[in-house]
Amino acid sequence: MSEISFWSNLSLQIRFILLQNRQGKTRLAKYYVPLEESEKHKVEYEVHRLVVNRDSKFTNFVEFRTHKVIYRRYAGLFFSLCVDITDNELAYLECIHLFVEILDHFFSNVCELDLVFNFHKVYLILDEFILAGELQETSKRAIIERMSELEKLE
């Protein structure tokens, strides 16, 4: 499993972010580590399998290969973040929640279809939020302001 050891040597906090629905379809996939297409598929399949079977009463953190996946379900979508074993789980849970709040604000009561049709916007928001696997902006207000600036440029 070459990619596992490869990951652990890159100094990143977040390895990837996945948004998947209950059927396993990926709605958003942002990787901060280089991976082949087939490996990406494998990862998405495995993560989906891991999180979809867990009861809502269980913890929001699972071990994934040599890392951790922190996930939360919002309606029909699973938001999964893959981080280092030593990272602070609660902080990243808040991070996911912040992301969802921003999406909600941006799309006004966001639903899965919004994300499907506006994938480039979602990526834009994500890029403001996380740079090179590091959390760079934690203020909801700042991100929303920035997004409106960017919108004007289009």
Partner 1 sequence: MASSNSLMDSLFQRSLEDLIKGLRLGESTFISRSLEEIRREIKLTDLSTKSVALQKLSYLAALHGVDMAWAAFHAVEVVSSSRFAHKRIGYHAIAQSFSDQTPVMLLITNQLRKDLNSSNEHEVSLALECLARIGTDDLARDLTSEVFTLLGSSKALVRKKAIGVVLRVFDKYPDAVKVCFKRLVENLESSDPQLLSAVVGVFCELTAKDPRSYLPLAPEFYKILVDSRNNWVLIKVLKIFAKLASIEPRLAKKVADPVCEHMRKQNVGKSLLFECIRTVFSSLSDQETALKLAVAKIREFLVDDDPNLKYLGLHALSIVAPKHLWAVLENKEAVVKAMSDEDPNVKLEALHLLMAMVNEDNVTEISRILMNYALKSDPLFCNEIICSVLLPCSRNSYEIIVDFDWYLSLLGEMARVPHCQRGKEIEHQLIDIGTRVKDARLELVRVSRALLIDPALLGNQFLYPILSAAAWASGEYVEFSKSPYEIAEALLQPRTCLLPDSIRAIYIHSAFKVLVFSLGAYFSAQQPTSPPLAQESTSSGHSMVNGFTYNSISSLVNMIELGLCSLSGTIDVEVQERAKNILGFIGMIKHEIAEKATSQNSETEGHRAIAFMEDVFSEELGPVSSTAQEKVPLPEGLELNENLEGLQEICREVLEPMAESDYSSDKVSFSVAKLRIRDQEEASSSLPPPLESSSLLAEHRKRHGLYYLSSQKSEDHNDREGNDNNTSNEYPPANEISVDSFKPKKKISKPRPVVVKLDEGDEPKRKPDASSSNDESLSRAIQTALMGKGKGKEKEKEIVKENHEMNVDTENIEQSSRREKKNKKNGERSSKRSSRRQRGKEASVTKPVEVPDLLL
- For residues 106 and 55, what is the distance between their CA atoms, to the nearest angstrom? 30
| Stretch touching partner 1 by CB under 8 A, among 1-9, 74-82, 101-109 | 1-9
Min dist. Cβ of residue 105 to partner 1 (A) = 18
Angle at 22 between CA 31 and CA 2, to 5 degrees: 35
101 binds partner 1 (CB under 8 A): no
Give the one residue of 4, 75, 111, 132 binding partner 1; rule: CB under 8 A. 132
Residues whose CB falls within 8 Å of the CB of residue 64, separated by 6 or more in sequence, listed in order: 46, 47, 50, 82
100 binds partner 1 (CB under 8 A): no
Give the one residue of 1, 109, 120, 141 binding partner 1; rule: CB under 8 A. 120
Report yes or no: 20 and 47 within 8 Å, Cβ to Cβ: yes
1 binds partner 1 (CB under 8 A): no
DSSP, residue by residue, 16-35: EEEEEETTS-EEEEEESS--
Report yes or no: 122 and 143 within 8 Å, Cβ to Cβ: no
134 binds partner 1 (CB under 8 A): yes
| Stretch touching partner 1 by CB under 8 A, among 73-81, 103-111, 133-141 | 133-141
Both ends of the chain: CA-CA distance in Å? 43
Joined together, the tokens standing for residue 79 give 């938001």
60 binds partner 1 (CB under 8 A): yes
Residues near partner 1 (CB under 8 A):
2, 5-6, 9-13, 26-29, 32, 34, 37, 40-41, 55, 57-63, 86, 88-91, 93-94, 116-117, 119-120, 123-124, 127, 131-132, 134-139, 142, 146, 149-150, 153-154
